[in-house]
DNA sequence: ACTTCTATTGAGATTCAATCCTATTATGCT
DNA sequence: AGCATAATAGGATTGAATCTCAATAGAAGT
């Protein structure tokens, strides 16, 4: 089986994800990493985010426009603001029994499910109300 | 307020979505529509899928690699096969009380949530087992 | 039918996230 | 130190989705 090496670049990417709690996109992580070493290529950041998500050290969150990465590795749900694009954690427990039930009824082998609540964050809701909805 | 016109192209797109139960992507709908009228442009198909989803006549389903469209307009959950990319309806009721609870606890104004179960469909699960997992 | 208004279209250009390509580098093991 | 190969840099490429804008055609009124 394929060995995984511990490269300086991979460490920098992992540190960059762990330094943020706001669910950054790959490009945002790329900017952060390049502040420490401007020579790191975009492809390397994308590749390492995938490797780290695959190995369970971080979480990959699918979101509209651009996927996000999350220092919280255990499965949980997210909120997405349709206006400003912000992503936040949702205060609901992961329903793993749904995975079992769906697997049983459909014959799929379920790895997990992703849930994203779409709406307006408090700040954007306020702005929208000022302009008469 | 802006009026919505009933164009031939929009009708063709709506009919194309209603003619399928397998959650086609925008490009697949584009191919279907062009079988009836080859002069319809890709932009028109994408625009009309958005218009129809906005007005609640069809549903827009966010999925990895390409979004899908669904003749079932009421909110429900989906399955996604990580191997072949197929999308299917999930046999679970939509939990609208989750929207209320999350709104209350976060201050977000929630429009809806999307849930997608990721795994292997029965056909792909079988193929994977043949090659020793 | 004719006119007017403007939503919509067609065709191509553009955007942008994400992946791929390949010669070169550097990690982990012995 | 030497080897095998995983990983990188840099740039090219893909592909979904949106945008641009002159031209077209719904819809409502006359």
Q: Domains in chain A, ordered, with CATH?
A: 1-72 (1.10.10.10), 75-133 (3.30.1490.190)
Asked if the model's pLDDT at residue B132 lies above 60, the reply is no
Asked if the model's pLDDT at residue B1 lies above 80, the reply is no
B19 close contact with A: CB closer than 8 A: no
Is the CB of B91 less than 8 angstroms away from the CB of A102?
A: yes
Nearest residue, CB atoms, A108 vs list B99, B107, B120: B120
CB-to-strand C contacts below 7 angstroms: A 3, 5-8, 25-27, 42-43, 46, 50, 65-67; B 2-5, 7, 9-10, 37, 39-44, 47-48, 51
Closest CA to B15 of B57, B54, B43: B57
Residue B82 carries which DSSP code? T
Cα B103 to Cα B97: distance, rounded to the nearest angstrom: 10
Is any atom of nucleic acid chain D found less than 7 Å from the CB of residue B48?
no
Asked if the model's pLDDT at residue B129 lies above 90, the reply is no
Q: How far is the CA of B4 from the C1' of D25 (A)?
A: 14
Tell me how far the alpha carbon of residue A100 is from its chain's centroid. Answer: 24
Query: For residue A71, what pLDDT is reported?
Result: 98
Is any atom of nucleic acid chain D found less than 7 Å from the CB of residue A30?
no
pTM for the structure as a whole: 0.94
pLDDT in tens, B32-59: 999 999 999 999 999 999 999 999 999 9
Place of tokens 């945002």: A28
Mean pLDDT by runs of 10 across the 133 residues of chain A is: 93 98 98 97 98 97 97 98 96 98 98 97 90 58
B88 close contact with A: CB closer than 8 A: yes
Query: For residue A106, what pLDDT is reported?
Result: 98
Cα B64 to Cα A113: distance, rounded to the nearest angstrom: 13
Contacts of B105 in chain A (CB under 8 A): 91
Q: How far is the CA of A56 from the C1' of C26 (A)?
A: 25
B109 three-state secondary structure: strand
Shortest CA gap A88–chain B (Å): 10
Closest CA to B87 of B108, B106, B51, B62: B62
Q: Measure Cα distances from A83 to A128, B45, B69, B103, B113 in Å.
A: 9, 24, 22, 16, 15
Contact between B80 and B118 (Cβ < 8 Å): yes
Contact between A16 and A29 (Cβ < 8 Å): yes
Asked if the model's pLDDT at residue B27 lies above 80, the reply is yes
Closest CA to B53 of B6, B2, B10, B110: B10
Report the relative pairing of strands A109-120 and A78-81 from DSSP bridges. parallel
H/E run at residue A26: helix A26-36
Q: How confident is the model at residue B127 (pLDDT cuts 50, 70, 90)?
A: confident
Asked if the model's pLDDT at residue B6 lies above 90, the reply is yes
Residue A65: which nucleotide is closest by CA–C1'?
C17
> How much is the average pLDDT of B113-131?
92
């Amino acid at each position: 089986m394929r060995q995984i090496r511990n490269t300086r670049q991979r460490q920098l990417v992992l540190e960059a994800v762990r330094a943020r709690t706001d669910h950054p996109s790959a490009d945002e992580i790329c900017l952060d990493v390049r502040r420490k070493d401007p020579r790191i290529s975009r492809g390397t950041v994308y590749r390492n985010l995938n490797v780290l998500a695959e190995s369970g050290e971080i979480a990959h969150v699918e979101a509209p426009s651009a996927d996000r990465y999350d220092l919280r590795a255990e499965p949980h749900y997210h909120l997405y603001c349709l206006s400003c694009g912000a992503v936040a954690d949702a205060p609901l427990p992961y329903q793993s029994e749904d995975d079992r039930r769906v697997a049983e009824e459909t014959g799929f082998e379920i790895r997990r499910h992703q849930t994203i609540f779409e709406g307006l964050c408090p700040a954007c809701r306020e702005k929208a109300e000022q302009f008469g909805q």
